[in-house]
Structure formats: C-alpha cells, structure tokens
Amino acid sequence: MIFIHDFRTLHNVSTPDLCDTFNVAFSDYIVPLHLTPSILEQKMQGENLLRDYSIGAFAGNALGGFILHAVDNKTHPTVLYNGGTGIIPEYRGQHLVQKMYDQFIPAYQSQGIRKIILEVISTNLPAIKAYTNTGFHKTRTIHSFKGNIKTHKSPAGISIKENTTPDWPLLATFMDMIPTWSNNVASIQREAPFTVTWEATVNGQTVGFISVHKDTRRIRNIAVHPEFRRKGVGSALLQYASDQFRGAAVSIINIDEHFPEIDKFLQQAGLMHYLSQYEMEIVL
C-alpha cells in the first residue's frame, strides 16, 4: 500500500483528471456513479464547487482522493458544501477523509468559513464514521425517489409553459421545505443553461413550477402555491415534464423526512423510494 501524506487543493487538477478519479472512486459505491467531464463541469457550475476550496490527496502527481467543496459566496464565503468525497480503492484504509479535513479546517477557519455541510447515504457506515470522527453531526434525514411518471389526464384550466426568466422570489414562496444545496434556488439559477423550468398557471396566475436538469432528468425542485394544492397542479407539472422527456425515468433527491406528504405525492405519481441520506454539518 502506498501511504498518502500530501494534501493540497485541486487548483491544478484538470476536469478530465478529476473526472477519472471520481469515476474510479465511485465505481463500487452503494449507488454506482459515472460522470463525463461535461456532466462534472455542470455539477461544479450548478453547485458552485471551487477547486481552491476543494482538497486532493496525492501520491506524487497522482490524485488518490478528493473532497469537492462549494461556497455560499465567492467573495466572502462562510459556508462550504461538500459536493462529493471519493477515495480510489487502492488508497482506502488510511483515514484520508479525516486527515484532509484535519489539515484544511484550520485554513478554512482563517478564511472566515464557519460551517461545512454535506449529505451521506444512510447505509454508508464507513463514511458516516469518518465524518463523525471529524466532528460532523446529523441534522436531518432526506429521501430520494426515481421512476416513471404514471400517465393521467391533467385537470382542465391548468396551463404549463417554459419560463427562461422565472420570478424566483415568487416561486420560493411556494416552498415549505428548505431544499438542500443542489436543489436550492441559487443552484438552479447557476445551473440555468442545463436546467429547464416549467411554470403552471391558472387564470393567468402562476401557481406552481418544476425545474429539471435536462441531461440527467433529475428534478431539482417542484412546488405549488399553498392555495392551489390538491387540485392537480403538482401532478400536471410532473406529467408535463414526463411528456417532454418522452416518458423516460426521472429522479428527485433530498426530500426532508418531516414532509411525508411530499413522499406520498411522489409515490402516488409512480416514483419509488430508492435511498435515504443524512444531512450533516460541522460548525467551525
């Protein structure tokens, strides 16, 4: 085994090299992932992942592991979001995640960072242990769903069309649940070139929306005005999105466990729960 003691930012790591390491690290993951450099770039743009705040574990010039970090504000960041941690198999067992954080947390503190947040699959016990040993604690449980939308006839009177310039302050008032990082309004706005937002109107009034990442068909967010719920608006939005993707499977992640009505709505629409995660944070 080659032991790694060289930890530095990903400042000089190219997207193809980072993508290759990502795919090797996640090839045997609980939910196997495989990204292309293009999809990785989209992820980095949407989540605001920055190389200078991300950490690499290097064996010589070879990248053996990484922590991808996003910032809440590029000028004066105070919160980091861990958008992906991966260690390739040959370097595991060295507590590299904890070592990377042990080395970089003092630097983050000096830069004004006050909190780091992340999501981890609830059955990934080694990762949970590594984060807990670093000082992270669980803040909530979140659920993910995927599948094919059940076809049905939408109620009359609901019009749906794309809006390339949504009124996000208005649409945000439709949300009861605080979205996780990749599903929040700021991330959707950054991801705008790759995400489509459709809005539902009734008598000219905007009553709901759905935003979907076009390449992955992942629903970033869906919400309905409180006064128009249980009237078929949400189902109509799902149906419209399904039609645009010709019935292909869609997914949605990170639904807060404290909103079981959303779980029920998604399952009635044909989506199946496939994993749960813990949102965790550490206050620096």
**Domains of the chain with bracketed CATH:** 6-135 (3.40.630.30), 145-277 (3.40.630.30)
Residue 106 has pLDDT above 80, yes or no: yes
- Average pLDDT of the residues in 131-146: 97
How does residue 58 score in pLDDT terms, banded at 50, 70 and 90?
Answer: very high
**Residue closest to 111 by CA, chosen among 67, 78, 70:** 78
- Residue 65 tokens, joined: 């592991």
pLDDT > 90? residue 1: no
Q: pTM of the full predicted structure?
A: 0.93
Q: How confident is the model at residue 151 (pLDDT cuts 50, 70, 90)?
A: confident
Residues 127 and 97 sit within 8 Å (Cβ to Cβ) = yes
User: Which of 26-30, 128-132, 219-223, 236-240 is least confident?
Assistant: 26-30
Q: What is the mean pLDDT of the chain?
A: 96
For residue 40, CA distances in Å to 22, 33, 258 come to 9, 11, 31
Give CA–CA dist 199/207, Å, rounded: 8
| Cα torsion 73, 109, 97, 58: sign | positive
Residues making up the chain, counted from first to last: 284
From 145-154, 191-200, 269-278, the region with the lowest mean pLDDT: 145-154
In angstroms, the Cα distances linking 28 to 33, 86, 174, 252 are 8, 11, 38, 22
- Residue 276 host element (H or E): strand 272-283
In this predicted model, what pLDDT tens digit does every residue of 152-208 receive, in sequence order? 888 899 999 999 999 999 999 999 999 999 999 999 999 999 999 999 999 999 999
Percent above pLDDT 90 for the chain: 94
The C-alpha atoms of residue 82 and residue 50 are separated, in whole angstroms, by 11
Q: Which of 142, 101, 103 is nearest to 121 (CA)?
A: 142
What's the angle, vertex CA 136, arms to CA 8 and CA 76, rounded to 5?
55
Q: Which two tokens stand for residue 2?
A: 């080659």
pLDDT score of 30? 86
> Measured between alpha carbons, how far is 208 from 198 in angstroms, rounded to an integer?
9
For the cut 90, the answer to whether the pLDDT of residue 31 exceeds it is: no
**Rounded-to-integer distance, Cα 14 and Cα 36, Å:** 13
